[in-house]
Amino acid sequence: MRDGHKYKVYIAFEDLIKMAERDEAVRRAVALYLAEKAKNGTPRQREIAEEILKRHPLFDFPLL
């Protein structure tokens, strides 16, 4: 999707989970992103991020 001079790529959550299962760097990046949203996001972002973190132990990092 074009956004001004840049492009945005939307990835389905199921595809993101599959990538995270295969790649530690992707898993860590997603976990950090979700942790940040759970802490500093809008109320709706916090709610969604917390729900994802609870449902998917894949993103459970002890240092987060």
Domain containing 6: what range?
Answer: 2-59
**What pLDDT is attached to residue 29?**
93
Using CA atoms in the order 12, 16, 22, 25, what is the torsion angle rounded to 10 degrees? Answer: 150
Q: Is residue 42 part of a domain?
A: yes
Report residue 62's pLDDT band, with 50, 70 and 90 as the boundaries.
low
What pLDDT, in 10s, does the model give residues 1-48? Answer: 778 888 888 999 999 999 999 999 999 999 999 999 999 999 999 999
**What pLDDT is attached to residue 5?**
86
Q: Is residue 64 part of a domain?
A: no
pTM given for the model: 0.77
**What pLDDT is attached to residue 2?**
77
| Domains of the chain: total | 1
